[in-house]
């Protein structure tokens, strides 16, 4: 085996976490009885999650595994079960990051800072269409 180091930048972890969260939003859409088609993009554009990444590269040790942790701030749609959504986001981020990078996720802290009412998003979408 050839020796050498591979370093993964924090921006890569950030993008993986964002993609993982988009997959969770699909789960939310499927679970809700509301017609949310076309709303996910408006939701994610206006209330985009804020993500902070802290990583530690692998050290030349026996396990040679880097670690990473995340602080995620989210907005959720009114009516969802917040603990379930938070847990799904956490699990998806951990799964995607560990699978794609080989780094061990130490923790994913999640803060919910806003609740968005579905009617507000639909009204905003309607106003945007009328302006076009």
pLDDT score recorded for residue 27: 40
Structure-token pair, residue 7: 């370093």
Q: Using alpha carbons only, what angle is made at residue 6 by residues 68 and 14, rounded to the nearest 5 degrees?
A: 35
In angstroms, what is the C-alpha Rg of the chain?
18
The reported pTM is 0.74
Q: What is the per-residue pLDDT across 85-113, written as a single tens digit (0 to 9) for each?
A: 899 999 999 999 999 999 999 999 999 88
Q: Give the whole-angstrom CA distance, residue 78 versus residue 89.
A: 17
pLDDT score recorded for residue 78: 84
φ, ψ (nearest 5 deg) of residue 112: -100, 115
Determine how β-strand 67-77 pairs with β-strand 104-116. Answer: parallel
Positions of the chain with pLDDT lower than 70, given as ranges: 1, 25-47, 60-63, 120-132
């Amino acid at each position: 085996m050839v020796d050498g180091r591979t370093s993964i930048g924090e921006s890569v972890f950030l993008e993986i976490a964002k993609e993982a969260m988009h997959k969770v939003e699909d789960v939310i859409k499927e679970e809700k009885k509301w017609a949310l088609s076309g709303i996910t993009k408006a939701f994610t554009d206006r209330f985009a999650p804020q993500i902070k990444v802290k990583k530690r590269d692998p050290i030349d040790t026996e396990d040679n595994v880097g670690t990473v942790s995340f602080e995620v701030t989210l907005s959720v749609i009114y009516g969802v079960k917040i603990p379930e959504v938070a847990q799904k986001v956490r699990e998806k981020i951990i799964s995607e990051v560990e699978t794609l990078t080989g780094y061990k996720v130490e923790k994913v802290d999640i803060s919910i800072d806003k609740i968005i009412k579905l009617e507000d998003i639909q009204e905003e979408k309607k106003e945007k269409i009328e302006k076009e």
